[in-house]
Amino acid sequence: MNAKFIPPIISQNLTPDQRIQVAGYSDVRQASWIATLLHEKLMTFESIATLLEAHFHIKSRNLVEEPPPPEAIHLLDHVIASRFLVIPLNQEDNHLWVAMENPLDHQVIADLYDLTGFFIEPVLAKESDIRYFINQLYSAAHIETIASQFLVEENLRKNQYQLNAALRAQLQSAPTVQLVDSLIESAVLYRASDIHIETYEYTLRARFRIDGQLANPQTVSGSLLPNVISRLKIMGGMNIAEKRLPQDGHFSLTIHGEPVEFRISTLPPCMGKRR
């Protein structure tokens, strides 16, 4: 069901003018029909909750009165919770209950299933409450992630191999940092066992090994390769000046509150395309 589609049971409680009002506001603000109904004061949260439970058997939850347990953050990654605006509540067997602003958004439910492997049980909650608890529950994990990245920068500053000022600036620049961080974060998100960074004539391609298969190819300009490889070598404690011999390194990062160990292997172009 489209996130903006108003279910008939809700629509019949609105006048034609109100339905037009909801559609217009949703299109302009990119808001769901529930958010629009509440913002325009056309229905109350309680009335929407009553209708959803009666006709779709969807429960609702006042997160202020019944907060999600702190340990619930381990049920869902911070990136997923923030991206889809959901809060994990509890898990039983292969079912995961999550608080959602629009529990009839089947696309989000399908995406969550694909990412977590759990059957998703949606629970209606207020958007403002969900945002509040995402910030509250995941703040400590987020701080740990920032602290972990700070250690990487310290390693860059103290690296035993001398870096000239221009290269040091490039390795600390936002595009390089964001690209490397994004690749690592995405790999963890998809539960990948490996990240393969491959070079071609004009492009750099990164692929994740998921369940034994290389998937999710991401391609960027090959001009970024020197910075990406150098930054990864620095993170792994490797010699960035050595380009003719294979090297191995390792590093540890805390990603959304969870420590993750990484091993890096580089292969010179003459020994294969992958580096």
pLDDT number for residue 220? 73
**Residue positions counted in the chain:** 275
What's the pLDDT at 2? 46
| Confidence (pLDDT) at 12 | 76
Question: Does the pLDDT value for residue 157 go beyond 80?
Answer: no
In the chain, what are the domains? Answer: 1-56 (no CATH), 58-136 (3.30.300.160), 159-271 (3.30.450.90)
Q: What is the mean pLDDT of residues 19-36?
A: 69
Q: Which residue has the higher pLDDT, 192 or 97?
A: 97
Pick the range with the lowest mean pLDDT from 133-137, 147-151, 170-174: 147-151
Q: Are strands 95-100 and 119-124 parallel, antiparallel or unpaired?
A: parallel
pLDDT at 28 over 60: no
| Residue 160: pLDDT band with limits 50, 70, 90 | very low
Task: Assess whether pLDDT exceeds 70 at residue 166.
Answer: no
Is pLDDT of 228 > 60? yes
Both tokens of 240, joined, read 């960035």
pLDDT of residue 60: 94
pLDDT at 46: 92
DSSP-derived 3-state class of residue 130: helix
Calculate mean pLDDT across residues 191-205.
81
- Given a contact cutoff of 8 angstroms between Cβ atoms, the answer to whether 87 and 70 are in contact is no
The predicted model gives 68-80 an average pLDDT of: 81
> How much is the pLDDT for 274?
41
Query: H/E element holding 221?
Result: strand 213-221
pLDDT digits (tens, 9 = 90+) for 102-130: 998 888 999 999 888 899 999 999 988 89
In the predicted structure, residue 133 carries a pLDDT above the cut 60: yes
